[in-house]
Amino acid sequence: MIKNIGVLGGGSWGTALSKLLSENGHNVTVWLRDEKACKEISQSRVNEKYLPKVKIPENIVFTSDINEAAKEAEILLLVIPTQVVRGVLKQIKDEYKNGKIIINASKGIERGTMSLVSDIVKEETKNSIFAVLSGPSHAEEVGLSMPTAITIACENKAVAEEIQDAFMSEYFRVYTNDDVRGAELGGALKNIIALGAGISDGVGYGDNAKAALINRGIVEIARLGIAMGADIHTFYGLTGIGDLIVTCTSKHSRNWNAGYLIGQGLTKNEAIKKVGMVVEGIPTTYAAYELSKKLNVDMPIVDAMYDVLENNADVKETVNKLMLRDKKEEKL
């Protein structure tokens, strides 16, 4: 069934998903905050800044008026940084906010409130049905129609299947899951571990160190997830270990790239500027650190990342501290 879909955010992931949904026959309107960029993409049909190799279908509409993107939408797709979700939702007229399907395709935890996007949507909208789209999926590959598998998590099974049908294609396979919290946490927290993996590569450590970081990283992610009511099995799937692997090992990963630059000696702000895109793992590190203390969850990798980002701790000394912690059994 053809859907009217409003996409909020025209970065690399928003562009790739808009192309996919348009190819699937849906009516897609994309909102960009930058009016100049909106006009340029509308004319050239290329997102030169974020996805220059991808031709954008002619029938996708671009607008700098957020309510134009939202007013006719049956599904609203959030592809904006987590830290601005609350402010963006406040801009939408009240008639849209009542009883609509809202899908989050970004990954992070709101700093300060420690809220997941599901919490923000619940607070800022009325009776909306929330879902999260997450998994190992680089926009650069999806934009070029490369095979990808991803998960849609929604507590409403019928809506999950409706969204699954909207996104499924010959190159984009979608699985359903009802563990929204687990999917959100897996997608958000893996960015912290990817920053660490980039730092490890940047200072010249080898594959052994990165494999250990990835493995112990998923343990920490699962610990916090369980403490917040998630299903441990979610972290074995696409939104957990699957997303963690791709983000920690690929040079497409903005979080890995930022970490690599920090490992090479740049400050976090210099690394963000050089990457040129939102690095969600940095604010998420702060939020996860606060959550772990609030919930009394042991997360030594998150602690170490916080120390590097907040206190400019020496990376090699921080690794030594991790390696020389008290002996323990390998368990969750």
68, 197: one domain: no
Read off the amino acid at residue 170: E
Whether 330 is covered by a domain: the verdict is: no
Task: pLDDT tens for the chain, 332 residues: list them.
Answer: 899 999 999 999 999 999 999 999 999 999 999 999 999 999 999 999 999 999 999 999 999 999 999 999 999 999 999 999 999 999 998 888 888 999 999 999 999 999 999 999 999 999 999 999 999 999 999 999 999 999 999 999 999 999 999 999 999 999 999 999 999 999 999 999 999 999 999 999 999 999 999 999 999 999 999 999 999 999 999 999 999 999 999 989 999 999 999 999 999 999 999 999 889 999 999 999 999 999 999 999 999 999 999 999 999 999 888 888 888 888 77
Query: Range of 239's domain?
Result: 182-323
CA 72/CA 94 separation, integer angstroms? 13
Bridge partners (DSSP) listed for residue 176:
152
Give the pLDDT of residue 330: 87
SS (H, E, C) the chain: CCCEEEEECCCHHHHHHHHHHHHCCCEEEEECCCHHHHHHHHHHCEECCCEEEEECCCCCEEECCHHHHHHCCCEEEECCCHHHHHHHHHHCCCCCCECCEEEECCCCCCCCCCCCHHHHHHHHCECCEEEEEECCCCHHHHHCCCCEEEEEEECCHHHHHHHHHHHCCCCEEEEEECCHHHHHHHHHHHHHHHHHHHHHHHHCCCHHHHHHHHHHHHHHHHHHHHHCCCCHHHHHCHHHHHHHHHHHHCCCCHHHHHHHHHHCCCCHHHHHHHHCCCCCHHHHHHHHHHHHHHHCCCCHHHHHHHHHHHHCCCHHHHHHHHHCCCCCCCCC
Of 178, 205, 239, the position where a domain reaches its end is 178
310, 197: one domain: yes
Residue 152 is part of a domain; what is its CATH number?
3.40.50.720
Neighbours of 117 (CB within 10 A): 28
CA 148/CA 172 separation, integer angstroms? 5
Give the pLDDT of residue 94: 86
Give the pLDDT of residue 63: 97
Give the pLDDT of residue 121: 97
Q: Is 90 a catalytic residue?
A: no
CA 140/CA 129 separation, integer angstroms? 29
Give the pLDDT of residue 96: 85
122, 258: one domain: no
145, 197: one domain: no
Of 178, 209, 233, the position where a domain reaches its end is 178
Give the pLDDT of residue 324: 86
Whether 190 is covered by a domain: the verdict is: yes
- Which of 19, 190, 210, 268 is catalytic? The answer is 190
Whether 329 is covered by a domain: the verdict is: no
144, 202: one domain: no
Give the pLDDT of residue 173: 98
168, 235: one domain: no
Of 178, 194, 219, the position where a domain reaches its end is 178
170, 212: one domain: no
63, 112: one domain: yes
Give the pLDDT of residue 332: 74
Whether 328 is covered by a domain: the verdict is: no
165, 243: one domain: no
55, 139: one domain: yes
Residue 289 is part of a domain; what is its CATH number?
1.10.1040.10
187, 240: one domain: yes
162, 26: one domain: yes
Number of separate domains in the chain: 2
